């Protein structure tokens, strides 16, 4: 079943080409949950066979990720605050909580956006608090692109070198995800330690 689904996705990406990667990654980065693994790993496999180009895959994936993230960012930026001020109490979000979050993102939005883009399950959601806090759009775009680019590279790399070996892909993806999370914890700890020294 999984092998058949993967094969269908390989065929679909091959048919749609780079536009298909762009659209799927835009969906993955917006408010619709969609795992990027099932897009970029098959694309990497196609690149290993010479049917696609790695640079174009990365460009399409990055552009799609940015578009999807900016959709979330602008929805939260334009509608989110007004919505939460009106209905936030039903979700246990007070105006004080909202103001604290805005203050936090003004100070630490760059590190939060970057690390959030590398954590599965958080990747699609990190744009929302950034938009609510009205994070600087240039900073948001840069750190989103940086995090999304690293994640896309890892998935394309796995597809390119491991091909159709599903067991090895799952094993390495799990190990890489754990390693990334440990690395991010260390990086965030060092960041906040540096921030304390500056004060």
Q: What is the pLDDT of residues 66-124, one digit of tens each?
A: 999 998 888 888 877 676 666 555 555 566 666 666 676 777 777 878 887 877 777 77
Q: Is 0.85 topped by the overall pTM?
A: no
In 3D space, the residue among 113, 98, 121, 133 whose CA is nearest the CA of residue 177 turns out to be 121
Provide the number of structural domains found in the chain. Answer: 1
Q: In angstroms, rounded to a whole number, what is the distance separating the alpha carbons of residues 80 and 95?
A: 12
The whole domain housing 133 covers 2-198
Give the span between the Cα atoms of 112 and 96, in whole angstroms: 20
**27-69 pLDDT tens trace:** 888 766 667 777 888 888 888 888 889 999 999 999 999 999 9
Rg for the chain, CA atoms, rounded: 18
């Amino acid at each position: 079943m999984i092998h058949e689904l993967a094969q269908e996705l390989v065929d679909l990406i091959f048919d749609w080409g780079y536009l298909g990667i762009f659209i799927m990654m835009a969906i993955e980065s917006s408010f619709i949950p969609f795992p990027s693994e099932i897009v970029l790993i098959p694309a990497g496999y196609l690149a290993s066979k010479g049917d696609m180009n790695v640079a174009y895959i990365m460009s399409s994936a990055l552009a799609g990720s940015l578009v999807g993230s900016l959709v979330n960012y602008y929805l939260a930026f334009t509608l989110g605050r007004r919505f939460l001020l009106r209905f936030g109490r039903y979700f246990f979000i007070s105006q004080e909580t909202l103001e604290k979050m805005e203050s936090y993102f003004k100070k630490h939005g760059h590190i939060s956006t970057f690390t959030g883009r590398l954590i599965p399950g958080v990747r699609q959601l990190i744009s929302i608090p950034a938009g609510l806090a009205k994070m600087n759009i240039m900073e948001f775009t840069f750190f989103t692109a940086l995090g999304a680019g690293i994640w896309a590279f890892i998935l394309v790399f796995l597809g390119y070198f491991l091909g159709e070996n599903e067991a090895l892909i799952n094993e390495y993806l799990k190990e890489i995800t754990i390693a990334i999370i440990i690395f991010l914890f260390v990086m965030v700890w060092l960041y906040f330690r540096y921030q304390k020294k500056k004060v």
